[in-house]
Amino acid sequence: MQLLLNALLFHLFFCASTYNNSMEKRIKRILSIAAVAAAGIVATAAFAVCAVFPNKYAHELNAAADEFGLDRVFVQAVVWTESKFDARAVSGKGAMGLMQLMPDTLTECATAIGERADGFDPKVNLRCGCYYLSLMLDKFGGNKSAALMAYNAGENNARRFLNGERVFPETEEYLKSVKRAEKVYDVFG
């Protein structure tokens, strides 16, 4: 962008003698070209952000977040961190779907909300994950970091972390990743 502006300014001031237009018209033209270039850069950046931070399953995600009283941006950030919005994702430990639920957790949550335990169905996975996340928020008094620690490392580990035990490095990174994604989705989501 800076290179383009420098070239345009050079052209304006050093090559202006080849034009019969007034200086004002040249300035307006340069500003118009710069505005178009800036808009192109912004559009490209927005496209890149959307490619890296997708918002697939927005309807299902919003419905599940609303059903369980969760902030939509928060849920988007959790889903991005857990699966990058890959409904078929499976972790090395067996967690599955968009919100990477372990089979036992999925079954318990599905039973509690009257759903079938299909971890690869985006709607089911999002409803179960949002239900579980809302439970963790309730158990930890609305403390998002504590709820996320419980979601990632288990409720018992989260309580140990809160009582002073060292947080697992994976869980520390998880918390940072959700917070970074939350900032992006807050702007672009």
Active centre residues (catalytic): 82
Q: Is the dihedral of CA 170, 97, 68, 77 positive or negative?
A: positive
Cα(109)–Cα(67) distance, integer angstroms: 14
Name the residue among 170, 165, 164, 166 with its Cα closest to residue 151. Answer: 170
